[in-house]
Amino acid sequence: MKLGIDFGTTNTVAAFADRGNYPVVAFDGATAIPSVIAVRRADAALCFGEAAVAVARDPKWALLRSFKRLLADAGPLTEVVVGGHPFKIADLLTSFLGHVREELTARSNAGLKKGEPLQAAVSVPANASSAQRFLTMDAFGRAGFEVNALLNEPSAAGFEYAHRFSTTLTSKREHVVVYDLGGGTFDASLIHLAGHASRVVASAGVSRLGGDDFDGAIAELVIARAGLGTLSEAQRSALLDECRGAKDGISPNSRRLTVDLTAFDKPPLVLPIDEVFAATLALVTRSIEAMEPVIARDGVGWSEVAGIYAVGGASGFPLVPRLLRERFGEHRVKRSAHPFAAAAIGLAIFLDEGAGYELSDCLTRHFGVFRESARGAEVRFDPIFPKDSRVPSKGEPPLEAVRRYRAAHNVGHFRFVECGDLKDGRPDGDVAPWDEIRFAFEPGLRARGDLQNVAVQRLAHDGPVVEERYRCTAAGTLEVALTVLDDGYTRTFKVAGRAAS
């Protein structure tokens, strides 16, 4: 079976193709699996999803919510401590996705048989680093899924828009802006939709902006209004749960928000909705400001935009569509009928060969390496794959970049980074350091398994000619083949992000 699976900050949603329809998978009536892990303090036992939510208030268990946010800064060896026990984030994600696979087989309406192969298209935030992309793909694979595609979340939602609102697309208006506000991240993409061909023109995002932050802002308002003072970690977690539930119950017609404070020996707190909106205004404004630059890319004007498509669970917060309509006009803003599932549905559409959709995506961050110059007196940044470079579609050869030079040192020390912007040729803004790869240029060092303790020294003579060959796949993952051309010695490295916390 082919499934679109959106691993979200708050919930994980799946959808599948059924004769031209793309229903959301139900789990005994529920349309999502909570993206929550619980760890038993006594023995580090794990439980997931609904079972984890059920023990949220049990002091014997420690809860890990929103762990997708941890992937933004993680590498394969990054650890997190939960309930006093250390875990690799990659292992926790794999275990959670294994639970998702079990739920799909045992408790869903997808009609899966035990042991049936599961082909999946999965998604990541548009602003995700390649480390996060690698960790996500690797974890799905280790959990028993066959990953056929990895798409940016707003790109996937773009397929759902094309499927649901095709009549809004004309020869003069072939662009849509996807505004994707989820539980933990915000993404925006400008997508060109022509027939069944989808091309991402530009993307932007904020890695830590979503429903979790709305909950936090409301909680701070409650603390101030109710005089709760300093809270313990457990008390704050309980308050966030209450604020989250109250927030999710707000409708466009709500005039007040009521937060249950029984756990704090206080009566319910009733807040005017205008105060709640005032507390969250800066967050919504920040998302809109982050989205606006993508509209001006490639000279695309407003007259060419069919609409702004609001998706993601947090896009239902009434202040979001209100501000979007005030800024861009009532008729331009559209919201998915299934905002929490738009990405999963779009992924299922993409996998449906009969639908015939094609995607041409682009990199959302600059990827490059720091190099010495001026014989070691300076360091410069070499952007191997610039931001907005087109990512190959499925079945196309990888995007490649090649560098050749004569080595000046005994060991090559490669320090890779990703960044959101460049200023005067230097990484600027959101900069993510990666693994530091070492490669032996001198033959006498190649038998050593670990080059970390080998001092990098400038050679007294001309070094060998070296080739760096970089490849970016359709999934957005990266690898580099390093070769000494003089004697053919070569090694290939998966560029998978930071190795440790």
Q: How far is CA 476 from CA 77, 124, 391, in A?
A: 21, 10, 7
Shared domain for 342 and 394, answered yes or no, is: no
Which contiguous run of DSSP H or E holds residue 257? strand 256-259
Shared domain for 469 and 423, answered yes or no, is: yes
| Cβ-contact 329, 355 below 8 angstroms | no
Residues β-bridged to residue 440: 411
Position 156 in a domain: yes
Position 42 in a domain: yes
Q: DSSP letter string over 293-339?
A: HHHTGGG--GGGEEEEEEESGGGGSTHHHHHHHHHH-TTTEEE-SSG
pLDDT at 142: 94
Position 274 in a domain: no
| Cβ-contact 351, 145 below 8 angstroms | no
Phi, psi of 404 (to 5 degrees): -130, 140
Shared domain for 194 and 313, answered yes or no, is: yes
Kindly report the CATH number assigned to the domain that includes residue 94: 3.30.420.40
Shared domain for 16 and 115, answered yes or no, is: yes
Separation of alpha carbons 177 and 188, rounded Å: 7
Separation of alpha carbons 98 and 145, rounded Å: 9
Shared domain for 441 and 304, answered yes or no, is: no
Q: In 3-state terms, what secondary structure has residue 104?
A: helix
Position 272 in a domain: no
**Nearest residue to 368 via CA among 123, 130, 78:** 130
Domain end call among 302, 336, 361: 361
| Cβ-contact 276, 284 below 8 angstroms | no
Shared domain for 339 and 463, answered yes or no, is: no
Separation of alpha carbons 204 and 251, rounded Å: 28
**Sheet containing 61-65: order of strands:** 46-48, 36-40, 61-65
Separation of alpha carbons 55 and 60, rounded Å: 8
Provide the CB-side half-sphere exposure for 135 (13 A, CA): 30
Shared domain for 355 and 406, answered yes or no, is: no
Shared domain for 297 and 401, answered yes or no, is: no
| Cβ-contact 333, 308 below 8 angstroms | yes
pLDDT at 92: 97
**Nearest residue to 239 via CA among 211, 259, 224, 268:** 259
Shared domain for 456 and 469, answered yes or no, is: yes
User: Tokens standing for 392?
Assistant: 């190959």
Shared domain for 346 and 429, answered yes or no, is: no
Q: In 3-state terms, what secondary structure has residue 407?
A: coil
As for how many domains the chain has, the answer is 2
Burial of 316 (0-12, 13-18, 19+ CB in 10 A): buried
Separation of alpha carbons 286 and 221, rounded Å: 19
Domain end call among 361, 380, 407: 361
Shared domain for 333 and 376, answered yes or no, is: no
pLDDT at 96: 98
Separation of alpha carbons 74 and 17, rounded Å: 33
pTM above 0.75, yes or no: yes
Residue 128: how many other CB atoms lie within 10 Å = 27
pLDDT at 430: 62
pLDDT at 377: 58
For β-strands 85-88 and 11-16, DSSP reports them as unpaired
pLDDT at 501: 29
pLDDT at 432: 66
Kindly report the CATH number assigned to the domain that includes residue 380: 2.60.34.10
Domain extent, residue 83, equals: 2-209+283-361
Polymer length of the chain: 501
Q: Which residues of the chain have pLDDT under 70?
A: 130, 298, 373-378, 428-435, 475-476, 496-501
Shared domain for 94 and 192, answered yes or no, is: yes
